[in-house]
């Protein structure tokens, strides 16, 4: 943490901010104070109002009520440029860089030095002091698309500093970083707070990291401020209770009572694919999963995890290698044929691949059943009364919060949308369950419930492949963990005998392959 050093009062105050969209109050009398020299974490579940509040601060939305005070004076930002000129900078979760441009071009874009034309030497000279202040060493002429994700993030911070930011908002800044890269980022943020006397807003769902970096923590729930803490005076349990309104959310390793079987349910040998535009090609990937085992797949996104999932379920074809499910060869079979043999899949993008967003909860739950009945998943008239009764039972069993089975999936929270996908796939009683980022964008309460369902499936003898960018999730759920780098499996470890740091080393492609 940084030191809480500023005796002169807050740099920025958001007071009684209210913003309504139709009948929904995204922010309801929200208060927030930012002090110079501090890192202030803003936490809350999805839909709590964090994004709306920061968009108001950055001039992307206008508040319906409330006021913003900057240096004690009332301020109004009708557009982002007003906020930038006032010294507010935002580093978005999805970077706003142009991959084909150079480092210098990206940093100075829109605020180029010189009156009439762009000068590469002039831009390089202009950004050099900013890089020095951050302790960043990077070639100003390097093409951004050739740089690591961690370096690109530093460029985003350089961009806001170059424009004179005193208040820097970072939205989920560690989402795609390894543990080592996260540590480097935290060193940089502490330097900004201490040396630049900047106020840092750190938005994250990773509470372990929040407590590592933050001086103060503000919690939003259902659009309201429900808690503001000095980080050293509180703990994870208190913050989670404020976020969820519950005191029974488990954040430790999920307990497992059953034993892993001796029989291999899934055997993958030498699996290889052609290069995909969205991911690294698989290169001779081999592994197996036993009955009742949860095998985790770790790695920085884009290193073959998506290609692995899509190849296993049949959405992508392999160029070499074999996939066997209980000694039945899957290679070359269609998605439907693989499902018939006992493979279920929770995809990475639930809204695009998992559920019919414009369809009903009933249609989302009953997709597999209707395929068997009429061959078309979204034909409501084909759903018999018995299926509607079954869907009602599924809603109760999986605690899906919805007004009725006829409610549109688009009207549900991310957690309830994901529960529909998980419920549908588990009701198939699969031999193999493949999960890709199963709790991304899901509330803590829903995460806890989804974890319990995954563990229950494993207890019945289902083999589970868990692909996740969240190392804490992998360590909480997995029996073994494989690390992927550049399309290859580069390490293997038992979850109880490794750490985030050890996994992170392999995620960066460092170290020889280890097995334990």
Angle separating helix axes 149-162 and 179-195, nearest 10 degrees: 10
Q: What pLDDT does 512 receive? A: 56
Find the mean pLDDT for residues 331-342. Answer: 94
The answer to whether 29 and 10 have CB atoms below 8 angstroms apart is no
Q: What is the DSSP letter of 115?
A: S
Domain 12-244 and domain 251-342+430-516 have a common topology: yes
Q: What pLDDT does 516 receive? A: 46
Dist CA 192 CA 186 (whole Å)? 10
Domain 251-342+430-516: CATH superfamily is: P-loop containing nucleotide triphosphate hydrolases (3.40.50.300)
12-244 — its CATH code?
A: 3.40.50.300
Tokens of 33: 């104070």
Helix (H, G, I), strand (E, B) or coil at 187: helix
* H-only helix segments in 163-288: 179-195, 207-213, 236-244
User: Which one has a higher pLDDT value, 513 or 73?
Assistant: 73
Is residue 46 scored above 90 in pLDDT? no
Is residue 371 scored above 60 in pLDDT? no
Is residue 351 scored above 50 in pLDDT? yes
Find the mean pLDDT for residues 235-248. Answer: 91
Confidence bin at 388 (pLDDT 50/70/90) = confident
Which has the minimum average pLDDT: 60-74, 386-400, 453-467? 386-400
Find the mean pLDDT for residues 488-492. Answer: 97
Dist CA 235 CA 76 (whole Å)? 35
Mean pLDDT of the chain: 89
The answer to whether 107 and 159 have CB atoms below 8 angstroms apart is yes
CA angle (259 as vertex; 257, 260 as ends), nearest 5: 135
pLDDT digits (tens, 9 = 90+) for 143-190: 999 998 889 999 999 999 999 999 999 998 988 888 989 999 999 999
Confidence bin at 487 (pLDDT 50/70/90) = very high
Q: What pLDDT does 117 receive? A: 74
Is residue 2 scored above 60 in pLDDT? no
pLDDT > 70: percent of the chain? 93
Is residue 430 scored above 60 in pLDDT? yes
Q: What pLDDT does 500 receive? A: 92
pLDDT digits (tens, 9 = 90+) for 107-122: 999 888 876 677 889 9
How would DSSP label each residue in 128-141?
HHHHHHHT----TT
pLDDT digits (tens, 9 = 90+) for 249-301: 877 888 887 789 899 999 999 999 987 766 789 999 999 999 999 999 999 88
Q: What pLDDT does 374 receive? A: 43
Looking at beta carbons, which pairs linking 2-5 to residues 24 or more positions away fall under 8 Å?
2/37, 2/38, 2/39, 2/190, 2/193, 2/194, 2/215, 3/37, 3/194, 3/215, 4/35, 4/37, 4/38, 4/215, 4/216, 4/230, 5/37, 5/38
Confidence bin at 411 (pLDDT 50/70/90) = confident
Q: What pLDDT does 7 receive? A: 55
Dist CA 42 CA 105 (whole Å)? 31
pLDDT digits (tens, 9 = 90+) for 136-151: 899 999 999 999 888 9
User: Which one has a higher pLDDT value, 3 or 201?
Assistant: 201
Dist CA 434 CA 347 (whole Å)? 8
């Amino acid at each position: 943490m940084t030191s809480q050093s500023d005796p002169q009062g807050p740099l920025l105050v958001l007071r009684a901010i209210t913003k309504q969209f139709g009948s929904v109050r995204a922010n309801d009398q929200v208060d927030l104070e930012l002090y110079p020299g501090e890192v202030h974490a803003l936490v809350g579940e999805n839909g709590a109002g964090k994004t709306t509040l920061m968009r108001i601060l950055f001039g992307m939305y206008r508040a319906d009520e409330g006021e913003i005070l900057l240096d004690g004076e009332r301020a109004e930002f009708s557009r982002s440029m007003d906020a930038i000129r006032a010294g507010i900078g935002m580093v978005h979760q999805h970077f706003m860089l142009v991959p084909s441009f150079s480092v210098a071009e990206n940093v100075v874009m829109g605020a180029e030095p010189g009156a009439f034309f762009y000068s590469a030497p002039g831009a390089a000279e202009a950004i050099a002091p900013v890089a020095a202040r951050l302790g960043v060493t990077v070639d100003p002429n390097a093409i951004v698309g050739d740089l690591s994700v961690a370096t690109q993030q530093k460029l985003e911070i350089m961009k806001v500093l170059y424009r004179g930011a005193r208040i820097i908002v970072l939205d989920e800044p560690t989402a795609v970083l390894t543990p080592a890269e996260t540590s480097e980022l935290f060193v940089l943020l502490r330097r900004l707070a201490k040396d630049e006397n900047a106020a840092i807003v750190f938005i994250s769902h990773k509470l372990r990291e929040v407590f590592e970096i933050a001086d103060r923590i503000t919690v939003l729930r259902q659009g309201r401020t429900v808690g503001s803490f000095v980080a050293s005076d509180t703990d994870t349990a208190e913050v989670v209770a404020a976020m969820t309104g519950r005191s029974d959310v488990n954040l430790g390793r999920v307990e497992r009572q059953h034993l892993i079987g001796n029989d291999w349910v899934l055997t993958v040998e030498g699996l290889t694919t052609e290069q995909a535009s969205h991911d690294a090609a698989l290169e001779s990937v081999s592994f197996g999963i036993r009955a009742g085992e949860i095998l985790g797949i770790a790695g920085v996104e884009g290193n073959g995890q998506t290609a692995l999932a899509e190849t296993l379920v049949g959405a992508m074809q392999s160029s070499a290698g074999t996939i066997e499910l209980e000694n039945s060869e899957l290679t070359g079979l269609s998605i439907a044929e693989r499902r018939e043999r006992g493979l279920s899949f929770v995809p990475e993008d639930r809204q695009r691949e998992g559920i019919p967003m414009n369809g009903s909860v009933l249609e989302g739950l009953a997709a597999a059943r209707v395929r068997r009945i009429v061959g078309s998943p979204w034909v409501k008239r084909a759903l018999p009364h018995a299926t509607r009764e079954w869907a009602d039972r599924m809603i109760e069993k999986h605690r899906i919060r919805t007004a009725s089975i006829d409610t549109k999936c688009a009207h549900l929270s991310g957690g309830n949308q994901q529960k529909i996908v998980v419920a549908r796939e588990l009701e198939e009683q699969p031999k193999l369950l493949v999960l890709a980022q199963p709790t991304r964008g899901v509330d803590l309460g829903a995460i806890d419930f989804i974890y319990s369902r995954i563990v229950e499936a494993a207890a019945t003898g289902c083999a589970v492949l868990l692909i996740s960018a969240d190392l804490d999730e992998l360590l909480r759920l997995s029996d073994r963990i494989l690390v992927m780098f550049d399309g290859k499996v580069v390490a293997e470890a038992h979850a109880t005998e490794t750490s985030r740091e050890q996994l992170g080393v392999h995620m960066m492609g460092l170290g020889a392959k280890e097995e334990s």
